[in-house]
Structure 1
Amino acid sequence: MDNLSPQTLSIRTAQPDDVIHLLRIQLDALRALCIHDYTPEQIEALVGRNIRYSSLGGNRREITLVAEVDGVRVGLCSLLGDRITALYVHPQFARRGIGTQLLNAVERMAKTHNIKILRVAASLTARPFYQANGYRVGGESYLVADRGLRIPYINMKKYLLFSFNLMEF
């Protein structure tokens, strides 16, 4: 794994002018990284769904974090309540630890909001990633796209551990 040094990666809260760039990351990631787990028809249905229903910047309760390498947007992770609604890394930057750092940042944010369990509807492609980060499989389900096309995903969850400072008691 080619991890990036902490000096080159930064994570920040998304701004309205990020939306087009983040949508592009999602589309490129779906088309390049999911080809072994989904048919071309399923991938294009997911791409179309992301374009139609993207809440990046549209839902005020959803928090989206952006990962940048040397000022270039390379990934995103979104949290809405106790649900991770998106986690994508551009294919050119995949498997370098960026997704893990985004996930860790969202988990820290969830803890500050007193969220005890995080849930995610993970793609088949993302299942091993989430499992490696402590998420447990809760079962398989299907998204039904246009013309009844079924797209499988995995319901997963992680119990967040809270650390306590015993000096506070």
Structure 2
Amino acid sequence: MKIRRYQAGDGKGTYDLFYETVQRINCQDYSPEQLAVWAKPVGNQEDWHQSLAKNYAVVMERNHQLVGFADITEGGYLDRLYVHHLYQGQGIAKRLVAELEKWASQQGVTEITVAASITAKPFFLKNGYCQVSQQQVEREGQLLTNYLMKKPVNRNETKQTPST
């Protein structure tokens, strides 16, 4: 498996992975109505692409198949982290987050924040993030619970170029 930077051609694949992961994995913690407003069938591909392209975004591939992706803003907000439903529990999320944390350290970011879903909260706790607060986010009349979490950035990372 290899990690590389997100590219324009990854838009549809990342959106499809996001949609399928929410529908198949997050269904254990959210109702069908909540899932419907969280991840809708493909919308505007250009908007999705631009939202990833403006951040530091990476994808992981296995045998040329997209198995995960993640992105982080310049300010240290970990926006998205999704792993294909057939590849859960294989260390993919951990490797993707480590790549984002390394990049954040190189950029001088001192703290990473994330709004973790109920499903993702245990992963982030296990990987050194602390819960700051529980939140209710309203989307189209549905309330979705998530957790504002944070982690200080390790400033002792060695500087090197991102994986390609």
Q: TM-score, normalised by structure 2?
A: 0.88
Encode CA deviations 1:78-128: one digit per residue, 9 max, x unaligned.
111210110000001111000100000000000010001000000000000
Q: 1:152 aligns with which of 131, 134, 145?
A: 145
Distance 1:164 1:44 in 2: 40
Q: TM-score, normalised by structure 1?
A: 0.86
The sequence identity of aligned pairs, in percent, is: 24
Moved more, 33-42 or 56-65: 56-65
Letter in 2 for 1:119: T
> Residues 49, 152 of structure 1: CA spacing in aligned structure 2 closer, same or farther, 3 A cutoff?
farther
Runs of 4+ in 1 over 2 A off after TM superposition: 48-57
Could you say what secondary structure the match of 2:27 adopts? coil
1:63 touches 1:78 (CA, 8 Å); kept in 2? yes
What residue number does 1:62 align with? 55
Q: 1:109 aligns with which of 103, 108, 111?
A: 103
Encode CA deviations 1:44-87: one digit per residue, 9 max, x unaligned.
11003984698543045312100001111110001112101100
Q: 2:85 aligns with which of 75, 91, 94?
A: 91
Task: Please list, as runs of the form range in 1=range in 2, the aligned pairs for 1:13-162 lying within 5 A after superposition.
Answer: 13-48=5-40, 51=43, 56-59=48-51, 60-81=53-74, 82-146=76-140, 148-162=141-155
1:143 touches 1:153 (CA, 8 Å); kept in 2? yes
2:11 touches 2:45 (CA, 8 Å); kept in 1? no
Could you say what secondary structure the match of 2:137 adopts? strand
Could you say what secondary structure the match of 2:97 adopts? helix
The higher-RCO structure (CA 8 Å, 6+ apart) is: 2
Look at both structures and tell me which one has the larger radius of gyration over its CA atoms.
1
> Residues 93, 159 of structure 1: CA spacing in aligned structure 2 closer, same or farther, 3 A cutoff?
same
The aligned length equals 156
Point out where structure 1 has 5 or more consecutive residues left out of the alignment: 1-8
* RMSD, matched Cα: 2.0
Could you say what secondary structure the match of 2:50 adopts? coil
